[in-house]
Amino acid sequence: CPSSPKPPTTPSEKCGVLNVTKITENGKKVRKNWTSSWTVLQGSSLLFAKGQGGGTSWKFGSNSKPEFTVDLRGGSVEWASKDKSSKKHVIELKTRQGTELLIQSEIDSVINDWYRSLVETISTHAWE
């Protein structure tokens, strides 16, 4: 997906730059720290890496591992309520492991696409 000029082969492969922060980790509230992350949806995993160089030039190379990965199986996704963030277009993602993330993009179409893909991925992998 990141380096391929072709469209992704399956709807569950997707990548792009999103603003991301954890709000809960293993059930414990953590301080928000919004960062711009290169985000890749791969099967039932969502991978994040800090933007390096920005835009789509970023790749997961040998010296640049994903910062963190979340397992979407058994998770849930919804549009975040206003009290979660003052930003526009914020998705709230909860994992079965008790991690909650906020995912945001200023661009409507971008965040709507991610929302759809995440919902689809979670429902596809619901019974694993």
Binding-site member from 87, 94, 113, 115 for ligand I3S (CB under 6 A): 87
- 12/105 with CB nearer ligand I3S: 105
Nearest approach in angstroms of CB 90 to ligand I3S is 7
Task: Cite the beta strand spans of 14-119 per DSSP E.
Answer: 14-25, 28-29, 35-42, 45-50, 68-71, 76-79, 90-94, 100-104
Nearer to ligand I3S, 6 or 31 (CB): 31
Residues 13-52 that bind ligand I3S (CB under 6 A): 31-32, 34
Per-residue CA distances from 24 to 14, 32, 48, 98 (Å): 24, 9, 16, 7
Residues lying near ligand I3S in the complex (CB under 6 A): 31-32, 34, 85-87
